Amino acid sequence: MLSHSLQYVVFVIAVFALYWAVHRHYWPRMLLLLAASLLVYVSFLQVPLSAFVGGMPVGELVVKLVPLFIFLAGVTVDHLLVKGMGRTERPGVRKLLVVLSIVSNLGLLAGFKYLELLRRTVASLLGPWGVEVRPEPFHLLLPVGLSFFVFQAISYTVDVYRGKASSEHSFVEHLLYMLFFPRVVSGPIVRASELMAHFREVPTLSSDDGNKALFRIAVGLVKKLVIADVLGSGIVDPVFGSPHAYSSAECAVAAVAYTLELYYDFSGYSDIAIGVASLFGFKFPENFARPYLAKNLFEFWNRWHMSLSSWLRDYLYIPLGGNRRSKPRVCFNLMMVMVLGGLWHGADWRFAVWGAVHGVALCGVRCWWWFRGKQQEPGPVRVALGMLATFTLVVLTRVVFRAPDMAHAGEFYARMLAGIPGLANVGPLMWSMLALAVLAHAVPMKLYDLAALAFLKLPAPARAVVLVLLGLGIRQLSTLETRPYVYLQF
């Protein structure tokens, strides 16, 4: 049930109506949100509702629901450990419990996501020496959204250990925190203090907040269906699929187009998630802040996927020592965070390479600041050069993200640098979408705020007409097939 599909729209409307009918009563609203969240997660497992009333053999149904059972087991273990931390003040016991939580969650991630990568790596390293390693793949399933679940689980237990989150939440609250349907599989990564603390409050929703939420959802749909999907199907997929059939210039345009597609795809998802959560009285953190206008790579990572960047900072970079250690140790910390952050995106060494390149670049920026000093207010020329250099690095490294393997990425780079001219395969629609993507990213946020304010001031019937016309326009411009979110694969 993708959040840009018609089924999801109907689903949200139904849950919204039921939720606000019972919102004053704690258990009815909590159980309704939990049931809705379970339904959305099960839909990603491709289990139809008819399966629960005899439409599927029990054995087959159980197999399809294994990811959910794994998830429930992980939440149960974490909940018991959190309760244990709440019942003792002994530092050694509390530390043992939080370590057990971290190890169990990382164990799930390592076992289901990285064990096959380890097998392939060991086999490739030891094979030339005549050491036989298991040749067959493990064929382990990868539970949907496991990476996001693990990060949220660790943040909750660590925050309880640090005294930044309460251990008094019920199992239902803990489960709903992990599974809340607006951001169930792709974030934003929400801290416990930003969500669980509000479960016991009676929710409110003003007319203005509701309209702002609808406007935010509409913006997200335009980003995803009009810009991201059109760029993806029109130029990114064909060129990355057969780079040898296109000119160097067209490959370069496709690399830029993919960089824009990825942003509009994921930020569109985040906008919809933030808007839907607002309809139920919850506030999610922002996840993007026009990252391609960043003047340096540090600023880029403070603007891109901010919930992940802040998680890596608070739960990995700072515990490693952050900026408080020697200069070599600071560079080591940066490299560790970026390589591990790269591997988090996928069980393939090309993601580690991508992270390492960013890590080296971040270390280079940091060393430059140590050597020359960091300018607080650089001039316009320096700002423009910084933005261009940062965007160029992001575009070039995104090729590794999009390519199925390093060999394909190498082929794409070679074709892009071959100096073959020609843009015959980039039509007017693609140029229009590229221009729209750049313009929409560059305009000041104040214009979006003014557009939202203008929407709020319209009479209710006029707002309804605007939304209907917007829906029709999206249907006309977007691709005919519903494309899944790009970030779901990570």
For the chain, what are the domain ranges? 6-203, 208-295+378-477
Q: For the chain, how many residues are written?
A: 490
What are the angstrom distances between the C-alpha of 260 and each of 46, 216, 254? 29, 19, 10
Q: How many CB atoms lie within 10 A of CB 271?
A: 25
- Tell me how far apart the alpha carbons of residues 314 and 98 are, in angstroms, rounded to a whole number: 16
Q: Tokens standing for 345?
A: 């995106």
Q: Which amino acid is at 114?
A: Y
User: What are the two backbone dihedrals, phi and then psi, of residue 417, each rounded to the nearest 5 degrees?
Assistant: -95, 5
Question: Which pLDDT belongs to residue 371?
Answer: 86
From first to last of its 490 residues, what are the pLDDT tens digits of the chain? 777 888 888 899 999 999 999 999 999 999 999 999 999 988 888 777 666 666 677 777 787 888 889 999 999 999 999 999 999 989 999 999 999 999 999 999 988 888 888 888 887 877 777 777 666 766 677 787 888 889 999 999 999 999 999 999 999 999 999 999 998 777 788 888 888 888 999 999 998 899 889 889 989 988 998 899 999 999 999 999 999 999 999 999 999 999 999 999 999 999 999 999 999 999 998 999 999 999 999 999 999 999 999 999 999 999 999 888 899 999 999 999 999 999 988 888 999 999 999 999 999 999 988 888 776 777 888 899 999 999 999 999 999 989 989 999 999 999 999 999 999 999 999 999 999 999 999 988 888 788 888 877 888 788 777 777 776 666 665 554 567 777 776 6
Non-local CB neighbours of 68 within 8 Å, separated by 6+ positions? 38, 41, 42, 45, 143
Question: Which pLDDT belongs to residue 479?
Answer: 53
Question: Which pLDDT belongs to residue 251?
Answer: 96
Non-local CB neighbours of 184 within 8 Å, separated by 6+ positions? 37, 40, 41, 44, 145
Q: Which of 399, 401, 387 has its CA nearest to residue 251?
A: 399
Cα-based angle 447, 448, 453 (whole degrees, multiple of 5): 95
The conformation of residue 184, written as its DSSP 8-state character, comes to T
Question: Which pLDDT belongs to residue 486?
Answer: 77
Cα-based angle 60, 63, 65 (whole degrees, multiple of 5): 110
Q: Which of 396, 322, 309 has its CA nearest to residue 366?
A: 322
What are the angstrom distances between the C-alpha of 368 and each of 294, 324, 361? 17, 18, 11
Question: Which pLDDT belongs to residue 24?
Answer: 95
Q: Tokens standing for 37?
A: 């969240």
Q: Which amino acid is at 287?
A: N
Cα-based angle 393, 395, 400 (whole degrees, multiple of 5): 100
**345 in catalytic set:** yes
- Tell me how far apart the alpha carbons of residues 344 and 229 are, in angstroms, rounded to a whole number: 25
Question: Which pLDDT belongs to residue 481?
Answer: 56
Q: Which of 204, 195, 94, 208 has its CA nearest to residue 152?
A: 195
Indicate the helix (H) or strand (E) that contains 249: helix 248-279
Q: Which residue in the block uniquely carries the two structure tokens 């015959």?
A: 424
The conformation of residue 129, written as its DSSP 8-state character, comes to G
Question: Which pLDDT belongs to residue 374?
Answer: 74
Q: Which amino acid is at 356?
A: A
- Tell me how far apart the alpha carbons of residues 1 and 45 are, in angstroms, rounded to a whole number: 10
Determine which one of 79, 174, 345, 358 is catalytic: 345
Q: Tokens standing for 328?
A: 């070599």
What's the predicted TM-score (pTM) here?
A: 0.90
Indicate the helix (H) or strand (E) that contains 457: helix 445-457
Question: Which pLDDT belongs to residue 189?
Answer: 87
